Amino acid sequence: MPLNIVVCVKNVPSTLAVPVDPATGLPKTAGLVFAMNPFDEYAVEEAVRIKEKTPGTTITAVALGPESDGAVLREAISRGCDAGVLLSGAELQGGDNFSVSRALAAAIQKLSAEKPVHLALFGKSTNDDNSGVVGGQVAAWLGWPGVLFVKKIESIDENSAVLCRMMEDGVDKLKVKLPAAVGTVKEINEPRVPSLKGKMAAKKAAIPTWTAADLGLKPEEAGAAGARVKVARSSAPPPRPAGTRIAGATPAQTAEKLVAALIERKLI
Amino acid sequence: MSQQKILVIALLQRGVVSPAVYELLTAGRSLANVLKQPLAAYLPGGTAEQAKELVERGADRVLWSGHAALKDFNDELHAQAVLAAAAQEQPSWVLIPGSVAGRSLACRVAVKLGAGLATDINEIDPASGAVKRSHYSGNLQATMEFKSPVRVVTVQAMVFPQAPAQAGRAGEVTELAYAPAAAGTEFISFQAEEAGEIDLGGAERIVSGGRGVGGADGFKAIRDLAHALGAAVAASRAAVDSGWIPYRHQVGLTGRTVRPKLYVACGISGQVQHLAGMSSAANIVAINTDPECPMMQQATYLVVGDMFELLPLIVAEIKKRRGQPVAA
């Protein structure tokens, strides 16, 4: 039976060197080039692979951000998603993981009301905030099973999925009832680049925008007002102290000097 | 000031209290001292003996639930158990290990408590209640303030020292009844990694190889040094993507974030994506043929040279110092 899949994606700065605005003490992202969060490519690819194995499956990409973030949904469509929905409007902006996951959960519920969603896929984390919790929080809001750090979807049908989760000391195998939310890691697949056909579809796609009100959220439940944490300020970490060059007349002497230095510092 | 209770979640890993929990007890103790509160811990799936050990390591009060359903980590069942403990304790701070299980658990617990969640924190200011964590992949350090009365945090591994055991320390140990509810997640099995492998997240020493390792065979030199140092083995994305070593060893933006006392980077140029995963290591040794590579700018000790020539010599020197036989 075909599945109905949602993939949550985010538009993030494509550089890691984000400056701090001296006036606000906060990261300044205006003017930077944005692209799909690289970890989300794995989630999109996994959805497309499920679709290839289960014909008739539909994939909707959902993003939350400013109007310009429609671009990330077109990128998702070019990679094989069927449709995109942008959650936007002033009330949804400036959120934290709590309010963003709440809005995404509300969007998944709204999509489910039209056609039941079986699976919501997420990247490992986003390049900007690095929290890696929104997928798990969406599961909590919806009362669904939620499994993060998934390196393999071993099997999936409309009722359940068998997942391999990468733990620190090995691999957990879990069976979850669907619907469920799944966070992926890089090992799950190798994302393909957008196809020409996909790019054409992306160009033509109509991307609806849903506001907080469309999602049934009160203003105090959305965006900055609905957030539970905020970044008060941000700064570059202190630079590392200058290092010491270790060099001997021969490689053996270099090795000797290095080991002596490490022992002196009680590092080995 | 209202009472701000602190609850440490003492997660087990395969039946053993995770060392990260002892780090949480250190972080929790400093909070407890400033807030003048007892330090409480909840041990899901543990034993009375393990609960007593938490008391010896600084908890004033330990709740534990020994149910078999909590033996392996199950997001829903563990969250249910932790929420029951939280309902009893009414904590203002919930401290959770920054592990896969800890992060997974924190998501559900924070939403159900209506609480703010900050992950992988590396600093707590008990007086103001603010925490610090890195964002933009280690390029910036953020100060986070909570707007909710309850704060849920996961704590980055290796930031706080492990609380030492003080034999005979007094505290309260109470069993908390737990009956598993229906869950949509069923634990099937666990497949362990090779025996004897040291986990990167908790490793004090790491030896890591990059593009300069040149191939899967080249990692033998890395492993030999790691073995001599009692270190974990890591790799850059270039080495993992080339298929020389499995993904679980990858350090960096797309892999693990580590914070060892010593990180030996061999043949790793130090691209910003790799630095994102290891730049908070206390000491870095860079071994590279290129004296200008970015890793050299990060390094505590800079060694310019061929890693294949140097690593066996370093291993031999360590063995010599320890009075161990040196292979010819």
- At A16 the pLDDT is 82
Cross-chain residue pair A136–B103, CB shorter than 8 Å = yes
Our CA angle for B114, B118, B119, nearest 5°, is 125
- Which residue in B has a C-alpha nearest to residue A241's C-alpha? B300
Question: Which of A162, A137, A172 is CA-nearest to residue B105?
Answer: A137
- Average per-residue pLDDT in chain B? 95
Domains B6-175 and B200-321 share a fold: yes
* Closest Cβ opposite residue B192 in set A169, A244, A251: A169
- At B327 the pLDDT is 61
| Alpha-carbon gap: A11 to the closest alpha carbon of chain B (Å) | 14
| Alpha-carbon gap: A196 to the closest alpha carbon of chain B (Å) | 26
- Which residue positions in chain B have pLDDT lower than 50? 1
Contacts of A136 in chain B (CB under 8 A): 75, 103-104, 106-108
Cross-chain residue pair A229–B144, CB shorter than 8 Å = yes
Could you list the pLDDT tens digit for every one of the 268 residues in chain A? 999 999 999 999 998 889 999 999 999 999 999 999 999 999 999 999 999 999 999 999 999 999 999 999 999 999 999 999 999 999 999 999 999 999 999 999 999 999 999 999 999 999 999 999 999 999 999 999 999 999 999 999 999 999 999 999 999 999 999 999 999 999 999 999 999 999 999 999 999 999 999 999 999 999 999 999 999 999 998 888 999 999 999 999 999 999 999 999 999 9
- Class of the CATH domain delimited by B6-175: alpha beta
Identify the structural domains of chain A with CATH numbers, from first to last.
4-226 (3.40.50.620), 243-268 (no CATH)
- Which residue in B has a C-alpha nearest to residue A101's C-alpha? B111
CA–CA separation, A80 and A61 (whole Å): 10
- At B2 the pLDDT is 61
Q: Specify the CATH architecture of the domain B200-321.
A: 3-Layer(aba) Sandwich (3.40)
Task: Domain ranges for chain B, please list them.
Answer: 6-175, 200-321
Cross-chain residue pair B301–A246, CB shorter than 8 Å = yes
